Amino acid sequence: MDELTAALREHFGHDDFRPTQRAIIERVMAGGHTLAVMPTGGGKSLTYQLPALLLPGTAIIISPLIALMQDQMRAAKAHGLRAATLTSADEDQPRTIDLLKRGALDLLYVAPERAARDDFAALLAGIPIALFAVDEAHCVSEWGHDFRPDYRALLPLLNAHPTPRLCLTATADAHTAADITEHFAIPPEGRIIGGYDRPNIHYAVLRRGDTLAQIRKVLADNPGPGIIYARTRAEVEKTADALSGTGRRVLPYHAGMRPEQRRAHQQRFFDSPSAVMVATIAFGMGVDKPDVRFIVHLVPPLSVEAYYQETGRAGRDGRPALALLLWQDKDLKGGLHRAIASDNERGQEARWRAMERLIRTWGCRREVLLRHFGDDPPRICGNCDHCARWPIRWPSRIAQAVGRILTRGR
């Protein structure tokens, strides 16, 4: 048994790696800079946790949300790693800094805002660093759907240490991936793409009619936990109130709520086997509940990347899950207007056009989704609304032609 497999079994209780995990870890262990694109729920954390156990020094994990860092820290500690966060919410910062200086940490989680500061660079000077892991690395790209300027300020810190850097994301199309590799100086051979397909998720798109009736049917057909995404705070509150009589625990979540109320609702959702969270995209990164059985979008997201990331919160336990998108013609017009009015008009309009193609396609939705990210679709999907209806997988151009005929005939 080789060293990596032995460490995997001893610390994580797994007999073998998931697809691409070994290739990523081997490259990190060899000192190479790496971009790892892995599907949501694909085991990204292991690709830096295991090297952190085996390499000398402390692994610095740069992550965008405090809640996400805290969840990852708890999970790492459960596997026997010495882990800590260094955030504005931590009351024991002096102790964490002391542990770091004494070499008593395997993992240190920090936000990009802190990592880009001069005082943090000074803190790391002279401290052995095992590796840098940049989570949600697509945030570095202005082309991406989640751009954060602080990610662009990380390079001086990374360049000051001759140590491997691992950039991780689940949502990077070709343009965004190119931005990541260029900015973080990752060579072409350092790009490891783990695929985007989530075969257990059933993708469905419906015209919005009686919205509450459509949602109630989803709840009746799917007794497990679920997330319903609305665009505005008012829509969140209205929908949550309307669903309160369904017999399910329905929890609203949006940025207008008090922080302690949001935390309480999030914890109730995580602890429940059947709760429904009605939320804006404020309930986003860091949502890692394995048994989410459905995601419903009451309106289309503004990009395929956002759609993929949000629907990817379902079915992380590998069991069947539903991703239902509701839409009307006015949504498509409104989305285009918002794209044109955005600061990055060309990029946002292109992202919106891709989202519109996914909505309007008469072909396999999984094919459209995967090809957007440059991934090859499976020969037979069988798990989207169109493929479940049509037993024959037609080429996209034929399916689109049939769709136009059927649309005119209605």
The domain spanning residue 92 has which CATH number?
3.40.50.300
Contact 314, 323 (CB under 8 A): yes
Report if residue 139 sits inside a domain: yes
Report if residue 23 sits inside a domain: yes
Same domain, 217 and 177: no
Same domain, 33 and 161: yes
Same domain, 175 and 215: no
Same domain, 396 and 314: no
Report if residue 397 sits inside a domain: yes
Same domain, 219 and 253: yes
Last residue of a domain, one of 151, 171, 193: 193
Same domain, 307 and 392: no
Contact 34, 168 (CB under 8 A): no
Distance CA 368, CA 375 (A): 10
Contact 179, 140 (CB under 8 A): yes
Same domain, 209 and 324: yes
What's the alpha-carbon Rg for the chain, to the nearest Å?
22
* Confidence (pTM): 0.81
Contact 284, 310 (CB under 8 A): yes
Report if residue 349 sits inside a domain: no
Same domain, 184 and 281: no
Residue 197's Cβ-count burial label (10 Å; 0-12, 13-18, 19+) is middle
Same domain, 154 and 301: no
Report if residue 351 sits inside a domain: no
Same domain, 9 and 120: yes
Same domain, 315 and 382: no
The number of distinct structural domains making up the chain is: 3
Element holding 166 (H helix, E strand):
strand 165-169
pLDDT tens per residue across all 410 residues of the chain: 689 999 999 999 999 998 899 999 999 999 999 999 988 777 899 999 999 999 999 999 999 888 788 888 988 999 999 999 998 888 899 999 999 999 999 999 999 999 999 999 999 998 999 999 999 999 998 766 678 889 999 999 999 999 999 999 988 888 889 999 999 999 999 999 888 899 999 999 999 999 999 999 999 999 999 999 999 999 999 999 999 988 899 999 999 999 899 989 998 999 999 999 999 988 876 677 899 999 999 999 988 988 998 999 999 999 999 999 999 999 887 776 666 666 555 577 888 889 999 999 989 999 999 999 888 888 778 899 999 886 555 555 555 555 555 444 44
Last residue of a domain, one of 167, 193, 219: 193
Distance CA 183, CA 191 (A): 13
DSSP 64-78: S-HHHHHHHHHHHHH
Report if residue 235 sits inside a domain: yes
Last residue of a domain, one of 193, 215, 244: 193
Which residues constitute the domain of residue 131? 3-193
Same domain, 172 and 207: no
